[in-house]
Chain A
Amino acid sequence: MGLGVYFDNYIFVLLFMFLGVALPVGALTFGRLVRPNNPYPTKLTTYESGIEPTGDAQVRYHVAYYIVALEFVIFDVETVFLYPWAVALGELGWVGLNAGLIFIAILGLGLAYSWKKKVLEWN
């Protein structure tokens, strides 16, 4: 098997990339061709759940958002690990149980830490 064959496998990737670009572009172009075009100022304003936009798009979020988001991600990902672990626990045996418990314990320490540092309080 030479280098040519190796690169041949990338044809699917290229095809995927091509389709990924072509489909939305094609659909939007098609829509533009067939739909009526009648713009007026109210129609051109930004639409968000029926509420009129106020202020600038570039606002600074409170830093607490990020920390809460981080906490969320950590425990979100934890679930990803814990589901398969819980399902396969019977096969994993004691070693598996211990490994999982250590994992949970470390996360628990992290939670205690953020609790102590008042990350969970919203001021």
Chain B
Amino acid sequence: MIPNLLSWLIFLPLAGALLILTVPKENKNVIRSIAIGTSGVTLIVSLILWGAFDRAFSGLQFYQAAPWIDLGLVRLNYEIGIDGLSLPLIILTTIVTTLSLFASLNISERVKEFYIWTLVLLTGMLGVFVAQDLFLFFLFFELTLIPMFFIIGIWGGKEKTYAAFKFLVYTGLGSAIMFLSFLGMYYYAFQATGLQMLGGSGFSIPILTQIFAEPAFAEVLTTGVRGALFLGLFVAFAIKLPVFPFHTWLPNAHVEAPTAASMILAGVLLKMGGYGLIRIGVGILPDQASRFALLIAILGVINIIYGALLALVQTDLKRLVAFSSISHMGIVLLGIASFTASGMQGAIFQLVSHGFISALLFFMVGAIYERTKTRTISELGGLSKSVPVLAGFTLAAAMASVGLPGLSGFVSELLAFIGIFGADASILPAAKTLGVIAGIGIILTAAYLLWAMQRTTFGQLDDKYKELSDARPLEYVPMIGLLGFSILIGVYPNILSDVINITVIDILSRIGG
């Protein structure tokens, strides 16, 4: 086995970015090839990880730790490792990013910068999913902020500046709350154990997990302290996920971002919120997570219904997809809040599945917009007659999003709902009521997506759209790739669940009684 495989995974894209830096900006095709090549190699590395991953071992694998900064009283470590929660998201990240690079081939302005930023972004995202030290996690989390700001701000749509700054400030505030919660965890762990135990690594996730699970420290780590810390973490990740009422940055950012960035935003960046919530919120403070299960579940239901209702009234196709993301992220919350194995699995499935589906939807919207120069639903129509392939994939993506059996959306929603209906009443009261209300939201999802499809792909074809060209060969790569993975998970969910399973059981076991 290659040593330090995870470090290679994280820093390969950065190396690719540095390589692009040396290429003159006129050689656009060289730059594009380097970017796609780098991202492809990263994808291969992540697939090697997938193959070598021990599915029967619940701890961290490919673990690597080294001291990084010694601040005298505390050491910040370079500590990385993956488990069944990180691995699917790493695969998702590499796949979606690689395919989004294919989707960005039509970018012709400032190509060099675009690919540098995308590769830096890839490093940041992968870093978040492998970091096992809170400080390192925070570093990578913040690192994703800068490239996204530039990508939206330079290559975005009409309101790009506003969207970029809104994204910046919201995400920045989220990371502020997150880092304060991290500091709080460090401070109280430091209070509880003194210098010796933490002297080594005050921010290490495995060590903090142990400390917060230790009943002997209950005197310092009181319920009030733990509750406050959990709520801090929850708000921080809720902004990223996003959870109502912290979602307002999302429509702006998603709509204004160029297609490739929208794919990454919806496909991967949102998942960092869900991942953080499970890894750090539920992982380190499981008792508090279950204590606030009802709150999480209610917010999840609000997200589902609210996102769906807003999606229903959108006139802009891209905004519709953006609001559908908010709705779908509610299912993640619902799955987590059930605190059952299937619910938790459903949440992780939803993270992955929505990653593929929303990326595909954004790609389709981008492809249609590129040809028709409009995203207004009422101006489109009958696209199945002029661009049958594009219309077909759009329809397929919408079906996957609705949750048609055989596609990945179905599996994740099914698991989440099995979870919510099987939830322990002592943890989550009124689970069934919430489940039923959420079910209405799913019906609404079907309504807005089918209605939108009916108005865009079917119906009367406007004369000006008769001469549109259908999908180009290179556009098939992301379309087939993303839809393929959605079908793969939908038909054979075990491919994912046997990786996730043992980690989910491990996390749930921490909740105990």
Whether the complex brings A and B within 8 Å at their CB atoms is answered no
* Residues of A in contact with B (beta carbons under 8 Å apart): none
Question: Which B residues fall within an 8 A CB radius of A?
Answer: none
